Amino acid sequence: MDYIQKEEVVALGRWQTKEPKSLVNGLPLGPNAVKVFVDEVLNPTAFIWRPTVGKTNMEDFLNCYVVWPANCVVFEPDITDSPRRQQSDSKAVSSSSENQKSPLTPPAPKKPFTPASPLRRSEVQLYC
């Protein structure tokens, strides 16, 4: 969410923490802020809430951590509840049931779901 207009989504990412003592670029996060890993930039020219030396626009923080005001971060449902995950689960079930038709091949053991990234708690939208 854009911290100035609060209407435009400027980036998508994954939040890591709201802990005020957590460091981002060597500085404490502080109160009312969220540490976010930026996965996708939607508005490359959006200004950063807390710029650092040489990094002032959102495009500078692609695949990096950024500090963003907590009231401008929209938390999406957990990835385990996403339709994409449910579709992949249904495909996995159908393919394993096809494997069970063969008497020579035992079914593969089910593995517990682990997120693609240890950072992923939920996906977020940053507004500007």
User: What is the reported pLDDT for 91?
Assistant: 44
Residue 69 CB partners (closer than 8 Å, separation 6+)? 3, 32, 33, 34, 49
* Gap between the terminal Cα atoms of the chain: 4
Asked whether residue 109 carries a pLDDT value surpassing 70, the answer given is no
97 within a domain of the structure (yes/no): no
109 within a domain of the structure (yes/no): no
User: How many structural domains is the chain composed of?
Assistant: 1
Asked whether residue 49 carries a pLDDT value surpassing 50, the answer given is yes
Please say whether the beta carbons of 12 and 40 come within 8 A: yes
pLDDT band for position 123 (50/70/90)? confident
SS3 category, 82: coil
User: What is the reported pLDDT for 78?
Assistant: 57
Domain, as residue range, for 5:
1-86+121-128
Name the pTM for this structure. Answer: 0.61
Work out the average pLDDT over 107-113: 61
Work out the average pLDDT over 61-84: 77
